[in-house]
Structure 1
C-alpha cells in the first residue's frame, strides 16, 4: 500500500520548484491547487502560471521576473488605480455572489467577484456566450435577477476590473461598463461554473438560489465587497 507521505518524499527528492509540476506529482489540478495558499517569498522566476487561479496567494510578495507568466487578473505587474471601478449591482445579485464565494471557499467575496468577471469574459472569448445567454433568456428567474429597473434595490460596489478587461468589455463585447450588462458578465461567469457548456437539459425553472448553497446567516451583505 502506498503511504500518503510517499508523494511528499517524491517532491522533496525531485528538488523541483515548478508549481505546476509539483501539483501534478500530487495528482492535483495545478489550475486550482494553489488557490488561497501563501506564496510569499516563493521563487517563481521563469515559471508559466498563466492558467492558474492564484486567488489569495500573495503573489505580489513572491519572487517573479519578466519571464514569469501570470494571468493579468492576478499579475501584480499590471496593477493600477484605474483597475478599480464603481459599479451598481442589485442586492439579489450581490447576495448570490456572496453565497457563491462561501461555497467556493473564497476568503473574501471580492475575490469571487474578480474571478467571475474573468470567467464571464472567458466564456465570450471561447465563443460560448450565446449558449449561456440562451439559458438566461429562457429562465424567468434569471431574467428577473438581471432586471435593474428598480433603483431602490441597487448597491454601489467598487470592483477590480483590470484595464485589459475594461477594454475587452468595451471593444470586443460592446458592453462598456453599463451596469446591467456588467451584471450579465458576472452571472454568465457564475453559470459557466455551474452548468457545463452544451448541456441540453432544461434549466428554465431553476432559481438563482438553486445554483449555489445559501449562506447560513441569510443576511443581505452591505455594499462593500
Structure 2
C-alpha cells in the first residue's frame, strides 16, 4: 500500500458500509490510530428519559464495556431485545443484505441515496465485511448502548466500537447516529446532509 497521508476513499454499497470499512482500514494502514469513541458515536441518542441522558458518559462507559466483554442487559426482559439488536447490526453490515440493510437502520429510508451511492463496490474486502456485537446494555425501553467490532475477511478491523440501537416502530435498528459517526470517519466534513438531523436531535423518532 502506498500511503500519502490522505484519507483513503471508497464507495458505499447498498448492503450498508462494507466498502466504507475498507476505506477506514486503508486509513489505518497509513499509520492512523484507531478511531476514538467520540468519533464513532458523537453523542448518546436520547429517548427523552433520564436514563438515556445519563448515558452520555461514553468514554468511561466504552472502556468498562470493553473490559467486561460479553453481552449484558440492565433492564428486565432484555434477552430478546439483545438478540434483536445483534441481528440488526449483523444484517445492516452484511455485504449482500440488499434492502434489508436499509430496513435495519433508523430512518433508513432517509439514507437510501447514501447507501446506494456509486453502486456496488468491487472490493473483495468489502464483500467479506461483517459486524459482531460483543455487548448490549439497555438504557431505556427504546435505546441501547452497543459495543461492536467490524471484521473484514474474518479479521477484526475496527474493534470495540461504541454505538447505539434504537427501537423504531417496534423494531430494533442500528441508530442513524452510529452510522453517521462511521460516515464521519470516512468522509470528514463531507458527510451527507441527512446526518445533520441525527446530530441535531440526538434522538430516535
TM-score range, shorter chain: under 0.3
TM-score, normalising length: structure 1: 0.25
Rg: which structure is higher? 1
TM-score, normalising length: structure 2: 0.26
